[in-house]
Chain A
């Protein structure tokens, strides 16, 4: 067994000990949306800090290992600040050592989040002592819980990586209900001045974001895999007209389409992880994983029928998470225009 497979097994085992639909329902209904004691366990296991270098207190591993963790989290439909924390870490780590103190605090267990509106609706302008932000309020994952808030927004031709102190956000964060079991808040950033920040070239920002997005894509690949497994099992167990419904060609073809969509997402993410210097591949992977996850839950709901729509079935978490995670990647049309520009106009990825 490879090291990655062992890691996946360990994370899956840890989650299996306490995560089921009843637990997910209870957490979603709870005040905080997650158990801080479980966060402490995650921290002790080091799975929140996989990519952080050894000297800053992390696991000193690669993005591939972090994506293994994200995939298992996604498979379990488990909501926590983990994804947001890992995404913030990847972006802060792109600051060439400037944010080492923050990264070390994350390694020590501080939950973090990333402010990077996918449709670039917030921009930064240089002012004395920092950068002033402008734009409409944005939705940020786990903004209430996060003690560290990392920012990645465009500033003219360059981008700004910055840290937003909690005091700068005072009175600007208001919790809003989420479509899925994750926690979100609306954050008003207009007029905020970011004092702790560096500019990075657009290419570096794109690479950092690609890394962060591969974590989200991996989480969605995990979601696809779980939905597929559950649906295949159900199709062999559910009997109608005297036979398992998986024996009907119409149902088999639904399942085959789910396999194809899952494979597409997984292959694309795996390829992107092997080609980290090519952000276009990660962008394709993010789009593919999101599209597949939504396709999977819609088809799975059809195969399950009414039973899949009840809050007693974990599918209701996947169903909502799929669409919410897709939406967190921004407007579909804008993503497609960017992909067109990268792949078709500029010949990135493998269109050569």
Chain B
């Protein structure tokens, strides 16, 4: 790591160390319970960071950012991840940069200052009951009506919808047969009349939602990018999303280490051999993320590289929880904070399926690696 990056990390750590410990503890507890949707404390935490100028590390100064590079941005997310604190997730890391790239001046002025202040939270409206990996099959329709659009349809797996201020929505403005060429992107205020949210509780305790859109009227200015050219906007945002797989596995390995230490098994050969290999894989995970950041810093865009990062990260996290529970044995059946490893491994295992299929299934990622990276035929 370069000296300037170490210096940045030192500054960041000093700042985080000095934050109100009660706020940090409450935010951490909330984040551990459900990392995908900052709630009351997470919002307060992000607003604190925003007010202190610590959100938007790599955002340009003209949008209120620190104007640093992607490597610093990676270190920022890595450090918060390591402390099990929210880092602004998709709103700051994917929606913001996408708006900078394709938004109008009015849209940038409306959203960017509030995003970097930590005031806004976007939920992502891509998936539908019949459009998952095959996203271009989506059916939610946006009909032009004067200088507005009227939107009807249904989204599902819209995580964070109940706490979000806005919905980042992909809807069909062209023909169904046009597939990805007939899609436009919109930003809707979550409290727009006609939006109804039904919660879905997952086995990991995280909440996701179905979002019904019934005659939701938005001004034409809510459209991001040109009509029927939303696919490009969407893939831009998705690419930013895939760059943010960090070192949660390291945190999970640390929980396993705490268990091994408290059980007096840190020197047990089987425990050591299992954890030794997991620790190797955690080191590699970090380098995959660092490579993505470095490529961005060098003016390149990671595609296959981001996919490799995502596959490695998701499988490793799941493996740490799974093999960790195997080491723990029968005591691993005790759920919750009184269980071994404070319950984090059994909770992690319950949460783990979404890591492998969310943000684009690992099977799709492997195809990206083989096709974009190696030139394999379709």
Contacts and interface: CB of A to CB of B under 8 A. Distances in A.
Interface stretch (B43-51, B167-175, B185-193, B362-370): B362-370
A166 interface: no
The dominant DSSP class at the A interface is helix
Interface of B: 82, 250, 253-254, 257, 266, 269, 271-277, 279-280, 282-284, 286-288, 291, 304-305, 308, 311-312, 363, 365-367, 369-371, 373-378
A232 B374 contact: yes
A244 B283 contact: no
A92 interface: no
B253 A252 contact: no
Contact of B370 (A253, A267, A288, A344): A253
Q: Which of A259, A263, A337, A344 has the most CB of B within 10 A?
A: A344
Contacts of A257: 366
Nearest to B78: A350
A238 B363 CA distance: 23
Interface in A185-233: 232
25 contacts: A232-B374, A232-B376, A236-B375, A236-B376, A244-B377, A246-B374, A247-B378, A255-B376, A256-B311, A256-B365, A256-B373, A259-B308, A259-B373, A260-B311, A263-B308, A264-B284, A264-B312, A337-B269, A339-B279, A340-B275, A340-B276, A340-B279, A343-B280, A344-B279, A350-B286
A268 B369 CA distance: 19
Given A252-B371, A257-B366, A267-B284, A340 B272 contact: yes
B367 A252 contact: yes
Contacts of B274: 336
A168 to B, nearest CB: 36
A336 B273 contact: yes
Contact of A288 (B82, B284, B311): B284
Given A232-B375, A268-B284, A268-B287, A246 B370 contact: yes
A352 B311 CA distance: 23
Given A253-B363, A338-B276, A349 B283 contact: yes
Interface of A: 232, 235-236, 243-244, 246-247, 249, 251-253, 255-257, 259-260, 263-264, 267-268, 271, 281, 284, 287-288, 333, 335-341, 343-345, 349-352
Given A232-B376, A336-B277, A343-B279, A256 B370 contact: yes
B284 A343 contact: no
B284 A351 contact: no
Contacts of A288: 280, 284
Contact of A259 (B82, B257, B370): B370
Contacts of A246: 370, 374, 376-377
